[in-house]
A and B are shown apart, each in its own frame.
Chain A
């Protein structure tokens, strides 16, 4: 890699900005508060553009290739969305403007709330959380508030399946709960017998993911919900995998009390290299009073004879857990999700899930003779293989991942879920062509072959990238986290 850092490119006296002259009288600056120096770099506009453009070219992205990163739903991000989110009437409005001056924004938020409620079968919606984990925090604080409201102070435990994403137990802990782990059964479902054993009056709720992180639908979901509900607990569903269920099944009808959606997965808003996301949280009618404030709301104003609709921000939720972020959530992301939903409608959404699931099963079928498949049944939107056969040959999942890079693909999610040895979690999404899937299948089969015939080739990968394998141990041992010249 040859691109120098901004600080190395900097040269004293160079500027990249053109600001206007001061057009009002000057006021003396308060000497006591002034900083003696500002150690930022000095660059021209040309250099800045060149620098970041070159850096961008070192990235793999959806726009440049197949990105089957399991659990992350790396689907195509429509360009229309970028354009509409940047309209001045969306991008350049201030969050404290009076409601009458932002009716379009409030209407969009209100309607998006309605659509998400319809899709999930859960009527209460907060658009305020800005990521999946943030939605989890919101949801679990709601669970906590609900039990407190019922004077149920003895519930100190949250159940989390062993296949769960790390944010689930981390969230439970942030809400002050102890975590108890529910094991999985041989078919990749939550072990119902174990769940029954662990569920008692100390349990505040269960955080499940459906389809789970193995890409499998929880076959006993209704029974699971019944067990937890009977004991007075609530069901939190991590909706990271809802791309499998749009128009196919409503989480609300499957016993879910609280769910977060990742708009940056299911509803096609881009991931931005790690955000911004949006983690809309949806809940049952009963839990609606606990949602964060404010929410977008609508009222009909009867002016003379004509009824006028007015949108406003509703702060009247005395039982609310309180706000979870600075304003109303990632509005710019909401605009994109809204545009997506208006483009697709009911039929389009169902097609999304049908094709996402078809693609995942196609990959599962085409790869199962080549990699160990720990749970051999139809999957939903993703499939999880184990690289353990290759590991026995000295080629580990990390090696397979790196070799895929040389063959032109982004690797799947690796070493997650934790319950699968040498896990390879593959989520193709619905936006990939059969040709792309076939090319990926060929690459995976080739690597399986290479693991036997040329293991060194796989272990030395990647060779085609701007850098080869990086020394992560050294990075952690002696952290260098900022440029010091």
Chain B
């Protein structure tokens, strides 16, 4: 028998006999007879060898980042993943376990989550972090909902430089809650327009929500934003790139109340958009309103240290319709990848990764800016930057692909005013040769216009 079933015909006969049944069909007589055994038009079963070949064939139809220099970011990043990470998350003891409901036989998972929570706090400069959200986008949405619970207000002022897709997910998540979402634009340096933010914030505002560095790559001074938000009793929610936090000031030190972010950069490949992991941290005083799972330290009956899921009365299985969120399964294994990555990189490595990104991105940006027909927009940035291109961004990308280069993110759909611009990303993965080939190709495209 296929289907990974160990039961033999003899076993089945024995079991049916014990049940006093003659056939397997008798197990399903409770189902209305006319609905039983529908025909399923599915492809025929394949052997292991054939499945592998089929999947390899599909995989090879894709242009992967092992074979193509890539300058795409915009929420998914190509960072180095040390071999250790995949080795650890490939251990069956980790990846074939369930959510750690029975702590005595789940100390492995529970300990790693506690370590993950700690390191997320260390990065963000926050007091508490949860065991993970689904991804950065849903982390933002949950932060909006949490801010509304904390402040008992229903207004959100969201930076237009918060990832466009995250803003959409926030709207999806809140559509049943009747929330009032307003967007605040950006100023000349690409940062949040403080004057407009000031106008939009009011006594109905639950939170000001911004990204750091923002979607257009710009670094943002969070201090004035936190003062504006706190001035009207609203929270400051900051969505971060965790790699940037290896180098730049923690949002927690600049007044953030909730810090969320996409954790994919920490040890997971881009994997066509998932699985990723949402980072979620907040100040201690909001602990009871945090969504999702939390792991805490305690002791066992013999006084030894151990870890458990805790503060569960916030969660759906206890509180049901009064829970802080419906989330149940989260992204534990991706969080483990992040914890392993942070352990390997550590204090010095993460900073070094961030510095490599910074220097390489700045080198590429200034060289591109110097090319005829190209111009870099906005102020201080980290690893992503906006370039005005001499021909349409889509054309640039198509021509870059002819050189085997995966180009940038065209901004026309999300920012019509930046319709002639590309968002480029440079990380430690991009060698000087790759950057040179990008420059060469861009020059050629500019010259041919």
Contact = CB atoms under 8 A, between A and B. Distances in A.
Contacts of B372: none
Contacts of B29: 378
Contacts of A247: 37-38, 40
Contact of A93 (B64, B107, B249): B64
Contacts of B257: none
B270 to A, nearest CB: 5
B448 interface: no
A348 B41 CA distance: 13
A104 B61 contact: yes
B271 interface: yes
A331 B274 CA distance: 5
A56 B43 contact: no
Interface string A470-485: 1110111001111100
Contacts of A167: 316-317, 326, 328
Q: Which of A94, A355, A468 counts the most B-chain CB atoms under 10 A from its CB? A: A94
B45 to A, nearest CB: 3
Given A41-B343, A482-B128, A60 B105 contact: yes
B106 interface: yes
A74 B92 CA distance: 13
The 5 residue pairs across chains A and B that have the minimum distance between CB atoms = A327-B273, A89-B59, A63-B92, A272-B333, A104-B61
Nearest to B83: A45
A272 B356 contact: no
Contact of B31 (A25, A59, A248): A248
A219 B72 CA distance: 53
Contacts of B123: 38, 40
Nearest to B351: A38
B118 A78 contact: no
B388 interface: no
B84 interface: yes
Interface string B82-99: 101011111111111111
Q: Which of A22, A61, A62, A411 counts the most B-chain CB atoms under 10 A from its CB? A: A61
Given A27-B358, A169-B320, A322-B171, A345 B43 contact: yes
B353 interface: yes
A130 B111 CA distance: 24
B163 to A, nearest CB: 8
Interface in B128-147: 128-129, 131-132, 134-138, 145
A171 interface: yes
A129 B118 CA distance: 28
A104 B60 contact: yes
Q: Which of A58, A100, A169, A472 counts the most B-chain CB atoms under 10 A from its CB? A: A58
Contact of A91 (B271, B359, B406): B271
Interface in B156-209: 163, 165-166, 168-169, 171-173, 175-178
Interface in A363-409: 365-366, 377-378, 380, 401-402, 405
A378 B23 CA distance: 14
Nearest to A402: B104
A88 interface: yes
B390 interface: no
B26 to A, nearest CB: 8
Contact of A362 (B15, B276, B431): B15
Contacts of A480: 296-298
Interface in A34-81: 34-36, 38-43, 45, 48-49, 51-53, 55-64, 67, 69, 72, 74-78, 80
Contact of A326 (B97, B135, B246): B135
A26 B359 CA distance: 5
B172 A323 contact: yes
Given A131-B327, A332-B271, A377-B30, 20 more contacts: A17-B345, A23-B432, A59-B108, A80-B51, A103-B62, A104-B62, A118-B40, A134-B138, A169-B316, A170-B323, A171-B326, A322-B171, A330-B275, A332-B272, A362-B15, A462-B104, A467-B107, A467-B300, A479-B287, A482-B127
Interface stretch (A136-144, A190-198, A449-457): A136-144
Interface string A83-99: 11011111111111110
Interface stretch (A228-236, A274-282, A297-305): A274-282
A469 interface: yes
A96 B409 contact: yes
Contacts of B249: 33-36
B121 interface: yes
A97 B425 CA distance: 13
A170 B326 contact: yes
Contacts of B449: none
A357 B320 CA distance: 29
Interface string B11-42: 11011101100001001111110011111111
Contacts of A137: 173, 326
Contacts of A115: 42
A226 interface: no
A330 B274 contact: yes
Interface string A337-353: 01101111111111110
B74 interface: yes
Nearest to A348: B3
Contacts of A227: none
Interface in A405-462: 405, 410-411, 413, 416, 430-434, 462
A354 interface: yes
A326 B166 contact: yes
A16 to B, nearest CB: 4
A307 interface: no
Nearest to A37: B347
Q: Which of A67, A177, A348 counts the most B-chain CB atoms under 10 A from its CB? A: A348
- Counting contact residues on chain A (CB < 8 A from B), the size range is 35 or more
B75 A326 contact: yes
Given A48-B343, A105-B62, A326-B137, A35 B52 contact: no
A198 to B, nearest CB: 15
A275 B330 contact: yes
13 contacts: A6-B343, A41-B342, A52-B112, A60-B102, A67-B98, A93-B271, A130-B331, A131-B328, A248-B31, A326-B169, A345-B42, A472-B308, A479-B296
A121 interface: yes
B248 A17 contact: no
A176 interface: yes
Contacts of A318: none
B30 A219 contact: yes
B380 A131 contact: no
A36 B322 CA distance: 41
A90 B60 CA distance: 9
A39 B262 CA distance: 20
B217 to A, nearest CB: 13
A402 B406 CA distance: 54
A482 to B, nearest CB: 4
Contacts of A433: 6-7, 11
Given A59-B106, A95-B273, A131 B344 contact: no
Q: Which of A20, A55, A102, A434 counts the most B-chain CB atoms under 10 A from its CB? A: A55
Contacts of B66: 88, 92
B115 A274 contact: no
Q: Which of B138, B312, B316, B432 counts the most A-chain CB atoms under 10 A from its CB? A: B316
B60 A325 contact: no
A101 B134 contact: no
Contacts of A306: none
A300 to B, nearest CB: 17
Contacts of B344: 16-17, 43, 45, 48
B222 to A, nearest CB: 10
A176 B177 contact: yes
B300 A469 contact: yes
Contacts of A51: 343
B254 to A, nearest CB: 10
B6 A431 contact: yes
A172 B104 contact: no
A277 B54 CA distance: 23
